């Protein structure tokens, strides 16, 4: 059995220093971190995009990723959605006393690999250890800083009637993966999280098509929630075509069994791109050339009717309203 984390290792004393050196610096280290000053000094060339997020996912390891890689990709993606180039990350850890040190090392190594893939440096960090029970194993906060590359930046306010809605691939993979790992939901599905850094793809998009209006990754709440948010922010309506939305058969099957709707399940490696229709073909070409956008397709359009609402045209040619959920989706039998 691996060694367990002690409260001492968060106290700032010798034990803390050893933990930081042996685990965090060893994997995440770079010239900025190595200076070990109270703050990192950076010299940005222009406007910055900044985003922060905290990660509490349970289980902490899942097919396709872990809380560490998720914490990097998630924040990198938020910065990327502003059409910015992510450069730096900070990370704060809140660790529960008794947490397995091997698991911690595994998570930090995973973060290092994710950061390398995304091309970002971790330049500041913090570790706290709290008494057993005060946290659920590990919580991670990451803040991302990027340089803005295109102006005006894509924004949830900029969707306009006549725009098309493109999504970069299949829906619901991450959400179902995480749910299927939890206890009480006793099945194995060969499904894995789509957790990935999207900044290389978004950069290609905004550089090739400065006319992109909205970029957003449909994380918590899924595609349906994110599109609703955009519709509200922009004061427009959105009509989606059910038959064009891609759901992997295994995800569809898992959702049917548990009574879940894949449209409301989180995605951690997908982009929603909204832009004028005349640019759609070019956007699809750019996206499909990237490994993370091979299945990109148009799934709907922005309308002036029904502002703030999202309408789904069903396979039958009927329609229904797709609203926001009240809270998290729970498995059901009815």
- Applying CB under 8 A, the residues found at the interface with other proteins are 183-191, 249-250, 252-254, 256-259, 305-306, 309, 311-321, 323, 326-327, 330-334
Where b means 16+ CB within 10 Å and e means fewer, 68-93 reads bbbbbbbbbbbbbbbbbbbbbbbbbb
CA distances (Å), origin 139, targets 58, 228, 238, 282, 289: 10, 29, 36, 40, 35
Tokens of 42: 């950076």
Question: What minimum distance in Å lies between the beta carbon of 5 and other proteins?
Answer: 25
CB closer to other proteins, 63 vs 276: 63
Question: What minimum distance in Å lies between the beta carbon of 248 and other proteins?
Answer: 8
Residues 328, 254 contacting (CB under 8 angstroms): no
Question: What minimum distance in Å lies between the beta carbon of 244 and other proteins?
Answer: 14
Question: What minimum distance in Å lies between the beta carbon of 74 and other proteins?
Answer: 25
| 124 φ/ψ angles, rounded to the nearest 5 degrees | -155, 150
CB closer to other proteins, 46 vs 133: 133
Number of alpha carbons in the 13 Å side-chain half-sphere of residue 158: 17
Question: What is the residue whose two structure tokens read 């097919």?
Answer: 63
Question: What minimum distance in Å lies between the beta carbon of 326 and other proteins?
Answer: 4
259 Cβ partners below 8 Å, 6+ apart?
331, 332, 333, 334
Question: What minimum distance in Å lies between the beta carbon of 255 and other proteins?
Answer: 9
CB closer to other proteins, 191 vs 274: 191
How many C-beta atoms surround the C-beta of residue 333 within 10 A? 5
């Amino acid at each position: 059995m691996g060694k367990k984390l002690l409260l001492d290792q968060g106290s700032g004393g010798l034990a803390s220093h050893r933990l930081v050196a042996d685990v965090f610096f060893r994997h995440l280290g770079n010239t900025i971190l190595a200076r070990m000053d109270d703050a990192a000094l950076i010299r940005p060339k222009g406007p910055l995009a900044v985003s922060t997020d905290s990660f509490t996912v349970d289980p902490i390891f899942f097919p396709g990723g872990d809380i560490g890689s998720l914490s990097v990709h998630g924040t990198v993606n938020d910065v990327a959605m502003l059409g910015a180039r992510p450069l730096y990350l900070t990370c704060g850890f809140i660790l529960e006393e008794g947490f397995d040190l091997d698991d911690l090392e595994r998570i930090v190594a995973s973060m290092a690999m994710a950061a390398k893939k995304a091309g970002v440096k971790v330049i500041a960090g913090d570790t706290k250890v709290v008494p057993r029970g005060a946290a659920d194993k590990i919580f991670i906060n990451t803040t991302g800083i990027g340089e803005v590359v295109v102006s005006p930046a894509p924004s949830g306010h900029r969707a306009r009637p006549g725009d098309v809605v493109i999504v970069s691939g299949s829906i619901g993979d991450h959400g179902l993966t995480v749910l299927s790992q939890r206890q009480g939901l006793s099945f194995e599905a060969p499904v894995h999280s789509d957790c990935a850094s999207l900044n290389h793809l978004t950069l290609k998009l905004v550089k090739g098509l400065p006319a992109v209006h909205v970029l957003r990754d449909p994380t918590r709440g899924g595609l349906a929630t994110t599109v609703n948010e955009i519709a509200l922010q922009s004061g427009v309506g959105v009509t989606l075509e059910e038959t064009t939305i891609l759901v992997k058969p295994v995800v569809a099957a898992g959702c049917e069994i548990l009574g879940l709707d894949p449209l409301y399940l989180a995605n951690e490696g997908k982009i929603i791109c909204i832009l004028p229709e005349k640019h759609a073909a070019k956007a699809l070409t750019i996206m499909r050339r990237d490994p993370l956008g091979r299945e990109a397709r148009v799934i709907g359009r922005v309308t002036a009717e029904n502002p703030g609402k999202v309408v789904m045209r069903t396979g039958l040619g009927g329609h229904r309203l797709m609203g926001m959920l009240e809270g998290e989706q729970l498995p059901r039998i009815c």
